[in-house]
Amino acid sequence: MTMEHAGKEPLLPEAVRDLPYSWDIGFVWPPETEESRENIAYARAVLEACLPPVPLTTPEPPPEVTLKFLGPDASWPEWTETRRVLREYMPYARCVTRERMAEAEAECARRGFDTTDFTDRWTVRISAWIAEQVLYWCGLMVDDTAAITPWAMELAERYAQRGMAAEQAVWALRHTAEVPQSRGALARLAADEALPPEIRELAAQQIA
C-alpha cells in the first residue's frame, strides 16, 4: 500500500490491491495485457481472492445499462451515479479503504442516493467488476488455454454458481469450449435449477 493509503483499512484482498489498472466500467484488464506466466498466475490469484465463499443473495454486478431502446426521457439508474462517485474517491483497487468508502457514502447521502449497507454492498460490487474483467481476459484473450486449464474453468463454474460475474464466467467457458473441462462445466450449469434461468440458458446454448 502506498504512503497515501498507509494506516487506512483496505477492503479488498491483498492480491487485488496490487492491480495496476484504474477502473472505468469495472476494473479493466486491457486486451493487450501480455500473456505471460506472471500475468496468468496473477489472474488466478485475483479470481481466487474475489470469489465469494457462498452464493450471493443478489447477483453482482448488476447488468450494464443501455439507453438505446429507451425513450428520450430515460435516465440512468441510481447505482450508476453511485459508481461515478466511487470512481472519484477510489479510482484504483488499492484506494478501496474503509475510510475512503465512508467519504463516498457521505457524498452519496448528500446527493440523496440509497446508502443501505453501503460499504458491504459496494465492496462486493467492486470485487465483482474486477472478477468480471479478469474472467473476460482469461476466456477471450488468453490463446494458450493449456496455461489456464483446469483452474480457470473450475473458477468460472464457481463464479457462475455463486452469482458473482456469472454471465462473464459463462462466456469465459463458452469461449474455451474446446477444452473438455469447459464443456463439462457448461453442462452442469445448464442443468443447475438453483441458477437464474438466463444463466442456465446461456450455458445451454453452447452445448445444444
Question: For 5-43, how does the pLDDT look when each residue is reduced to its tens digit (9 = 90+)?
Answer: 567 899 999 999 988 887 665 556 777 889 999 999 999
Nearest to 83 by CA among 42, 52, 113: 113
- Record the pTM: 0.91
Please give the Cα distance from 141 to 154 (Å, whole number): 18
> What pLDDT, in 10s, does the model give residues 127-151?
999 999 999 999 999 999 999 999 9
The burial of 159, by beta-carbon neighbours within 10 Å (0-12 exposed, 13-18 middle, 19 or more buried), is given as buried
489472474: which residue's cell?
Answer: 43
Strand boundaries in 25-118, DSSP class E? 26-27
Question: Which residues, 6+ apart, have CB-to-CB distance to 104 below 8 Å?
Answer: 85, 86, 88, 89, 90, 118, 122
| CB contact at 8 A, 171 and 184 | no
> What pLDDT, in 10s, does the model give residues 34-90?
999 999 999 999 999 999 999 999 999 998 877 655 566 667 889 999 999 999 999
The pLDDT value given to residue 4: 56
| CB contact at 8 A, 88 and 23 | no
